[in-house]
Amino acid sequence: MYKLSVLILIASISGVFSLVASADSSNTFNRMLKPQAPANLPPAEDGLHDPDNPGTHMLQPPKEAFEGLVKAKWGNKVDWIKSIKTKKISPRHNASDAAPKPIIMNLNIVRQVKGSMPDVVFPHDRHTLLLACSNCHTGIFIPQKGANQMSMAAIMLGESCGKCHGAVAFPITTSTCKLCHSKPKAKNSVLKRSVTGS
């Protein structure tokens, strides 16, 4: 009985009033998060566009637009980097002029991570494929290795990498940790930050 009332309490705190969290399916509710909304709903149903505006119904539904792109398990279910690398899409650098090409900077910044997670590699090449330097420098990051405070907490609160990751770029989920934490820890590594080209 004690167990059940704790579950009811947790369920009501998290806004789940029907008793989805019964004793034999104790993992069906997620501690703090709302259940994930289905990805890529048509514009009129996505809660972002005004369904009463006729323009909304003229937009191409994302499911149709994303057909044939490389699939991912996270976010809007598209692996954008692989879709570009395999030439499924070739985004324009300038909306009104097809000529300008992005200036791709090949500089990886390695950030040593406290604890057991693999180190974080920030790849400039993939970002400059899509973004201008001014998207990050200096509003989000001072362009100097180690000059910026970064932590998972800040990222989850939408700061630092989280200004984009979880908003317009792949989100933080258990299947994306390794995209950022991609460099296995060096044996006997000392806590310092380093920069390498790739």
Q: How far is the CB of 18 from ligand HEC (least distance, A)?
A: 28
Q: Can residue 174 be called a binding residue for ligand HEC (CB under 6 A)?
A: yes
Diameter over CA atoms, the chain: 69
Residue 116 Cβ vs ligand HEC, minimum distance, rounded to whole Å? 8
Yes or no: say if 51 and 38 are a contact pair by the CB < 8 Å rule.
no
Give residues 31-90 in contact with ligand HEC (rule: CB under 6 A): 80-81
The one among 42, 172, 183, 185 contacting ligand HEC by CB under 6 A: 172
Q: Is 177 in the site for ligand HEC (CB under 6 A)?
A: yes
Residues in the chain: 198
**Minimum CB distance to ligand HEC smaller for 44 or for 140:** 140
State how far the Cα of 150 lies from the Cα of 128, in Å rounded to an integer: 20
Binding of ligand HEC at residue 183 (CB under 6 A)?
no
- For residue 66, which of 93, 97, 89 has the smallest C-alpha distance? 89
Binding mask 129-168 for ligand HEC (x = CB under 6 A): -xx-x-xxx--xx-xxxxxx-xxxx-x----xx-xxx---
**In angstroms, how far is the first alpha carbon of the chain from the final one?**
58
Whole-angstrom Cα distance, residue 99 to residue 76? Answer: 29
Question: How far, in Å, CA of 122 to CA of 118, rounded?
Answer: 13
Q: Does 179 bind ligand HEC (CB under 6 A)?
A: yes
DSSP label of 37: P
- Residues numbered 117-136 forming contacts with ligand HEC, rule: CB under 6 A: 117, 120, 122-124, 126-128, 130-131, 133, 135-136
192 binds ligand HEC (CB under 6 A): no
Nearer to ligand HEC among residue 11 and residue 130 (C-beta): 130
The answer to whether residues 176 and 170 touch, using CB atoms and an 8 Å cutoff, is: yes
CA 130 to chain centre: 15
Question: Is residue 182 within 8 Å of residue 117, measured between CB atoms?
Answer: no
> Could you list the residues that contact ligand HEC (CB under 6 A)?
80-81, 103, 105, 109, 111, 113-115, 117, 120, 122-124, 126-128, 130-131, 133, 135-137, 140-141, 143-148, 150-153, 155, 160-161, 163-165, 169-170, 172, 174, 176-177, 179-181, 195
